[in-house]
Structure 1
Amino acid sequence: MSIVSIFFLALAMSADAFAASIGKGAMLYRPRLFEALRTGLIFGVIEAITPLVGWSLGRVASDYVTAWDHWIAFSILAALGLRMVWSGVKSAPEATQKQNSHSFILLAMTAFATSIDAMSIGVSLAFLDVDIVPVAIAIGCVTFIMVTIGVMLGRMLGSASRRTVEILGGAILITIGCLILYQHLSAAG
């Protein structure tokens, strides 16, 4: 794979993490650069690990992973999205208290959910005899940068109400999950 191909692949793999990070940043009370870097690091590391896992699984059991990866991504993204929407709907309109940071577990779950597609890319690359390490590093680095920017961009949207941001962020995650499912089902049919 050429460097240009690897870069565009990494950019594509980080797009959904970028969208999720905008929502994460908007839900925080004036996130500082440190929080954006922390979030970027968590997403970047997980996004770099998943193609390695996918590549390893591709070497062992590609049919199983390829057949179910879209359902796993859809389920996790839909569950997280529905949780965010429900939280936004049930919170009182006057409750505008924002958090200073997100828990590691919540960030890791969101990062994993948005990185399932990178795992399936890893499976695909296992059959193309591609050196997976530079690809995984590129995906992790680009995701780190994009998520860090996304959190800070979400900060600018911080003036929007928490309810609206939570509902919008949840809708974005659900939409990403549906798009992943649609892409896989339309490619199969």
Structure 2
Amino acid sequence: MEFLIQELVTLSIMAFAVSMDAFSVGLGLGLAPLKIKQVFRLGLTVGMFHVFLPLAGIFAGRLLSDQLGFYTTQVCAVLLIAIGLEMFLGSFGRNRRKKMLFPKGIGMIMSALSVSMDSLPVGLTLGLFGSKTALAVLLFGFFSCILTWTGILFGKTMKGWFGHYSQAFGGSILFFLGLKLLLP
């Protein structure tokens, strides 16, 4: 029972961290004149991508786990550190998106896919580590959906003050989770 609670807490922290970029995008989109229907659809679309991409990563990770065996924890740690660094540095770099696609039709799908791509390698890490698949993808979908909606609503009131800092925060969490795995 204690292991299940630890895994639930760890997966929730990871899902929260990976979903921070969805919050960040939501902050930016909160400045746009969105209808409640668009806000609802966008949150669900981001949530779906945060379910399917980690699920694909988990299955790939499980396949690789058989080959990596002993090195699984080290590989997981290095992947989390790399993803965390990329999220953190990307939030301050020149490569940050200057213009957001409007969240309608293909723009909504592209926005949702762009903020969900980092969940694929995290899913790979979870698969290597042997996490509970259903729990992991449900938490990823839940947190990303809720944080997208929260970001949009918060963005409407705060007018985007925190934007890229939320992605940096999420990257920091993944980085330190990776360090915790790597160091005894």
TM-score by length of 2: 0.63
Q: What displacement does 1:13 show?
A: 1.9
Mapped contact 2:62–2:130 kept (Cα < 8 A): no
- For the residues of structure 2 that align with 1:134 and 1:79, how far apart are their CA atoms? 36
CA contact (8 A) 1:55 1:124 kept: yes
Unpaired stretches in structure 1, ≥5 consecutive residues:
89-98, 159-164
5+ residue gaps, structure 2: 69-77
The 5 Å alignment of 1:26-175 reads 26=31, 28-29=32-33, 31-60=34-63, 81=96, 84=98, 102-157=103-158, 172=164
What is the SS of the residue equivalent to 1:130? Answer: coil
Contact 1:51 1:121 in 2 (8 A): yes
Which of residues 8, 12, 15 in structure 2 aligns to 1:10?
Answer: 15
CA distance in 1, matches of 2:103, 2:127: 34
1:69-121 deviation per Cα after TM superposition (whole angstroms, max 9, x unaligned): 85xx77x998983x52xx59xxxxxxxxxx9x622323322332322332222
**Deviation, structure 1 residue 128:** 2.3
The answer (yes or no) to whether the contact 1:33–1:152 under 8 Å persists in 2 is: no
Q: CA deviation at 1:148?
A: 0.7
Closer, same or farther: CA 129–59 of 1 in aligned 2, 3 Å: closer
Q: Is the 8 A contact 2:54 2:121 kept in 1?
A: yes
Q: Percent identity?
A: 21
TM-score by length of 1: 0.62
After superposition, the CA RMSD in angstroms is 4.2
